[in-house]
Structure 1
Amino acid sequence: MAQLEALLFDVDGTLADTERDGHRPAFNMAFEAAGLDWNWDEALYGELLAVTGGKERIKFYLEKFNTDFEKPADFDEFVKGLHASKTEFYKQLMAEGKIPLRPGVERLINEARSKNVRMAVVTTTTPANVTALLTNTLGADSESWFEVIAAGDIVPAKKPAPDIYFWAMEKMNVKPEECIAFEDSDNGIKSSAAANVKTIITINEYTKDDDFSKADLVLDQMGEPEEGFEVLAGEHHGHDYLDLELVKKVHAGA
């Protein structure tokens, strides 16, 4: 069995409840600023999460839910502008401390860092969103803790395609069997599984009913020593919260 070399972290929904507390409100703020009467409530946003990528999500919304909207001639630029505005509102929410990390995330990242375990971010969100989250939760230099930031449009095919994982692993010069991924959604597990990377899932309200049959461990959260996780599927080896020792056991299939 290959030794664990790298932890590959998804961002939205995995590190923080960014979809609920950040992206959805930021989209609505951008729509209002643009003079649009669109409003994505939680139920609608749950359906829009079937598509990864913010620009793609706007297009999906207009194709499936707001078909009466008359698209401008420069539609792609219109969508880009809306998304750029949304990113600025998202960064504003981050700076205001509105989007905390999920339980156990900071502890696990700090443990991995202290033990010189390599880390990367593997996400479909924009690089600016990654920077905003990391710097406003873990500190100004925290982006440098991650060897690779694989984000946004760096590959044409976003999750559930495995391309972003392959790109990150190529940059790190590691093999799939030397990595473990942390995801929260159906698109995430499809992406990591297709890249042949073992995966630990921490569900959230939007993804609790997704199919995680390909995951190696499914939890409600990473947990803390004083507030353990709930195991939804897989072997937790007697642990109450996700630490590096448990991660290594899951990776080894022990």
Structure 2
Amino acid sequence: MTIRALIFDLDGTLAETEETHRAAFNASFAARGLDWHWSREDYAVLLKTGGGKERLRAFQAGLPEAARLPEADLVRLHAEKTETYGRMIAEGAVGLRPGVEDLILHAREAEMAIAMATTSSRPSVEALVRACWGKPADRVFDVIAAGDEVARKKPDPGIYRLALDRLGLPARDGLAFEDSHIGLQSARSAGLGVVITPSTYTAEDDFTGAAYCAPTLEQHNWPLILKAMLLSC
């Protein structure tokens, strides 16, 4: 087996961003004068739905019809949330998870391609990469498949298929890194082997089918990850 590309999820995998997303949603609700507030428990449930606008729609579905926003207002609300999130990230709200930067550097030295497959929007991708690497996202990742570039979000495999298409590689030559059950489903359905590093919100998810599940991507876990991948072939 030859791995030619590593494909990373963003939220929860590269960085523990979900609490910042939740804070940005709540700040945007308050700025609009909405009496909405997502607790950690609320957000844990909403994370089962991939994509920010999709989460807003899922949340609204449980409200009385009179309390729901028109679609155009919901889209604007999500754009406002994205701007708020970007400011929070720029102010240093989060950093990379342990081992991420070293793994990407090691993969570069081994002449592997580095890609991202995320349900987050491109502005959110840029905000995190600039904050953590100090450079534009396309100078860190060879390929980025983000947000609204596909019709359906994770667990649909479309975002991973798009990343593979842009890489010009078959799934057997790639390895995905995820933190959630829906991300695992997405990558597996695209034919990829998957390494899981559970995040704060996904520790209790079902990771059946993952090639390996590690607490972090720190170097002492790399031999075990490689062994698991070879055994899964």
Q: Which of 29, 48, 51 is residue 49 of structure 2 equivalent to?
A: 51
Which residue is equivalent to 1:251?
229
The two structures have a TM-score, normalised by structure 1, of: 0.87
In structure 2, C-alpha distance between the alignment counterparts of 1:95 and 1:143, rounded to whole Å: 18
Which residue is equivalent to 2:167?
172
Name the aligned partner's letter for residue 57 of structure 1.
Answer: R
In structure 1, C-alpha distance between the alignment counterparts of 2:203 and 2:217, rounded to whole Å: 15
Query: Number of aligned pairs?
Result: 232
How much has 1:107 moved relative to structure 2? Answer: 1.2
Question: 1:103-144 deviations in whole A, cap 9, x for unaligned?
Answer: 111111122123321010001110111111111001214532
Matches within 5 A, 1:98-137: 98-137=93-132
In structure 1, the residue corresponding to 2:67 is in which secondary structure?
coil
In structure 2, C-alpha distance between the alignment counterparts of 1:14 and 1:67, rounded to whole Å: 35
In structure 2, C-alpha distance between the alignment counterparts of 1:89 and 1:10, rounded to whole Å: 21
In structure 2, C-alpha distance between the alignment counterparts of 1:218 and 1:61, rounded to whole Å: 30
The unaligned stretches of length 5 or more in structure 1 are 225-239
How much has 1:250 moved relative to structure 2? Answer: 3.6
Residue 197 (1) aligns with residue 195 (2): no
Which residue is equivalent to 1:241?
221
In structure 2, C-alpha distance between the alignment counterparts of 1:129 and 1:247, rounded to whole Å: 29
Residue 33 (1) aligns with residue 31 (2): yes
Q: Which of 164, 177, 181 is residue 186 of structure 1 equivalent to?
A: 181
Any conservation in 1 of the 2:126–2:136 contact (CA below 8 Å)?
Answer: no
Any conservation in 1 of the 2:178–2:196 contact (CA below 8 Å)?
Answer: yes
In structure 1, C-alpha distance between the alignment counterparts of 2:133 and 2:103, rounded to whole Å: 12
Any conservation in 1 of the 2:212–2:225 contact (CA below 8 Å)?
Answer: no
> Which has the bigger relative contact order, CA under 8 A and spacing at least 6?
2
Q: Report which stretch shifted further, 139-148 or 106-115.
A: 139-148
Any conservation in 1 of the 2:6–2:176 contact (CA below 8 Å)?
Answer: yes
In structure 2, C-alpha distance between the alignment counterparts of 1:124 and 1:5, rounded to whole Å: 23
The unaligned stretches of length 5 or more in structure 2 are none
Large movers: runs of 4+ above 6 Å: none
Residue 67 (1) aligns with residue 45 (2): no
Any conservation in 2 of the 1:17–1:204 contact (CA below 8 Å)?
Answer: yes
The two structures have a TM-score, normalised by structure 2, of: 0.94
Q: Which of 187, 210, 214 is residue 215 of structure 1 equivalent to?
A: 210
Tell me how large the CA RMSD over aligned residues is: 1.6
How much has 1:99 moved relative to structure 2? Answer: 1.0
Same amino acid, percent of matched pairs: 40
How much has 1:220 moved relative to structure 2? Answer: 1.8
